[in-house]
Structure 1
Amino acid sequence: MAYSMNLGGKRLRPALVLMSSRIFGGNEEEILPMALAMEMIHTYSLIHDDLPAMDNDE
């Protein structure tokens, strides 16, 4: 998981969360955990999607 989270990438989802917070007058410190959680959930979904492809069952 750490390997996947530390790779480069667009990080578009957390940026959108932070920008939306700024537009609507939110506190960036309060919304930052949500922005990070969004990216972690997305990364998890990509890893979970790849798991069946890693199976050696032919």
Structure 2
Amino acid sequence: MGIQDNSALILIDLQQGIHHPKLGRRNNPLAESHVSALLDAWRQSGRPVIHVRL
């Protein structure tokens, strides 16, 4: 099963605020590189990207 042509990628609250020292060490150190790769591939597909900042 593939991704529908009318699908959109929604990225919610991905910002530098998650690096606050009071939050402790992260359990997902590769998150940025994975999101970046996904975003690059999605943009190449020509589908819409929606950024939401809360």
Q: Tell me the TM-score normalised to structure 1 length.
A: 0.39
Structure richer in strand, relative to its length = 2
Tell which has more relative contact order, 1 or 2 (C-alpha 8 A, sep 6+). 2
Structure richer in helix, relative to its length = 1
Q: Tell me the TM-score normalised to structure 2 length.
A: 0.41
